Structures are given as C-alpha cells and as structure tokens.
Structure 1
Amino acid sequence: MKLISSKRAPKAVGPYSHAAILGKTLCVSGQLPLDPKTMGLVSDDVMIQTKQCLRNGLAIVEDAGSSKARIARVAVYLTDMDDFDRVNDVYETFFGGHKPARLCFAVAALPMAAKVEIEFIADLS
C-alpha cells in the first residue's frame, strides 16, 4: 500500500492521507469544498461546493496517475437531501457521458460546516 498526498488539493483536516493505493486501485478520501490555498469553504452555495469537491478529488486522482475517465465509484455525502437535484446537475456536467457507480448519503453534519463531501475510487491500470 502507498499513501498519496497532493499539493493541488486542500490539506487534510484530520489525521488521514488524501488517498491510498492498493494494487491498481486508488481510494481517495472524502473531499470537502475547500479552497486549497486558503483552506476556507469556497461558498455557501451547494452547487459551487460540489464543483470544488469534484475539482479537489480530480486533482488527487490525476496526481496519483489516473484520470476522470478511470473513476469507478463516487460516494456523495449531503447534509440536506433537498440539494440532491442541484448536486446532480453539477455532477452530470463534471462527468459528462462517464457515469461511475455512485452512492449518496444524507448525513447530520460535515466538517467545517460543508454541505457536501465527495470521495472517489479510481483505477490505476
């Protein structure tokens, strides 16, 4: 196993790595909608937050040697399921025709008062 840290993504807000490589599988930790430079939330708007989570995750995926097209599974955590459609709009634009397997969970709260957190599993072969 190899642990990954990306300079293009926000620093971890806890005692964990950005990602771990197991064989040819990349497991990316949940990404919050943080600006990598300021470590602050990018916005209160869930659509802007979703876009930033996806950007942060993709930076880690690419830095580990994979690509958006190799993302196999995504897990989305929302503090309000009323945001589901808006998150889907951003998600669909981001992934285009690529449709990885996906989970979506409602949670009571997220770190730093984020409205959304997104994690990824990608193929490295």
Structure 2
Amino acid sequence: MFAVMGSFGAFAENEQASLPFSKAVRVGDTLYLSGELGAKPGTMSLVPGGIGPETKQTMDNIKATLEANGSDMNHVVKCLVMMADIKEWAAMNEVYRTYFSGRFPARSAMGASGLALGARVEIECIATVKK
C-alpha cells in the first residue's frame, strides 16, 4: 500500500501543481521524493546565481517536502544528484554537505544534459519517516 503526498501546501494553486507527478510518495515508512530543482517555491523559475544558489534552493525544497511528510534531513538515506556540468561538483558539494549533520546519506551522481528549466542541478532523495 502506498500514499501519494502532494505536499504543495499553500501553493496548491500554482504553476507546480499541474505537473504530472507527486513530490513524494510514501510506501510504509519510506518516502520517495521526486527530483527537485532550485525553483522558487510555487513557481517554475530557478533562483538566479548559478550552481551555488540553485543547490541551496534545491536542498531547501527537499527539506520542506520531507518536513511536510513527516520526515527531515536526518532521515534521508539515499540521494541521486544529476548535474548539467559535472565540473561544478565541488561547488554543489560545498552547499549540499551543509544540510546533513554527522552522517551523510548514500549518494550517486551523474552528469545529465537537458535538466528541466535549464537547471544546473536536480536532486532526488529517499528517506524514512520519523517514528
């Protein structure tokens, strides 16, 4: 049995609400998050400034989705990072690491061309739900 978690909250009437996927799906005590971009909440516009600000907004968006669905960054067990230019790895990693304390989740990464909205980074995560 699984539950679809919209988690658009106050943004139910926004540009993101019409996208053909769920931000999170819960199966048992596991949350599967869709890939997240550095878009300003409720919009289809990336934050300006390149990889650093986009990674920060991406991680803030992930954090908000987790919290809206009974989890948090400490319960993330796996992430997949997709980057438009793998040469920006160090700059992305500098921001990414600040969202975890103590232990880091397992992670895979790849270079990808043509990320949605012309994004520099997209990150998807799997997390457990807080007990």
The verdict on a shared fold, with TM-score over 0.5 as the criterion, is: yes
Summarize the Cα distance change of 1:86–1:38 in structure 2 as closer, same or farther, 3 Å threshold.
same
Deviation at 1:61, TM superposition (A): 0.7
Is the 2:8–2:17 Cα contact (8 Å) retained in structure 1? no
Q: Percent identity?
A: 34
Summarize the Cα distance change of 1:63–1:26 in structure 2 as closer, same or farther, 3 Å threshold.
same
Q: Is 1:29 matched with 2:34?
A: yes
Find the residue that maps to 2:114 and give its secondary structure: coil
Is the 1:30–1:120 Cα contact (8 Å) retained in structure 2? yes
Summarize the Cα distance change of 1:48–1:85 in structure 2 as closer, same or farther, 3 Å threshold.
same
Runs (5+) with no aligned partner, structure 1: none
Runs (5+) with no aligned partner, structure 2: none
C-alpha RMSD of the superposition: 1.7
- State the alpha-carbon separation in 2 of the partners of residues 104 and 12 from structure 1: 27
Summarize the Cα distance change of 1:65–1:59 in structure 2 as closer, same or farther, 3 Å threshold.
same
The correspondence for 2:92, drawn from 53, 62, 87, is 87
- State the alpha-carbon separation in 1 of the partners of residues 89 and 102 from structure 2: 19
The correspondence for 2:114, drawn from 101, 109, 114, is 109
TM-score normalised by length of structure 1: 0.92
Q: What number of residue pairs does the alignment pair up?
A: 125
Q: Deviations over 1:15-71 (max 9, x none)?
A: 100010011110000001100144311014101000111110111111110111101
- Which residue is 1:19 aligned to? 24
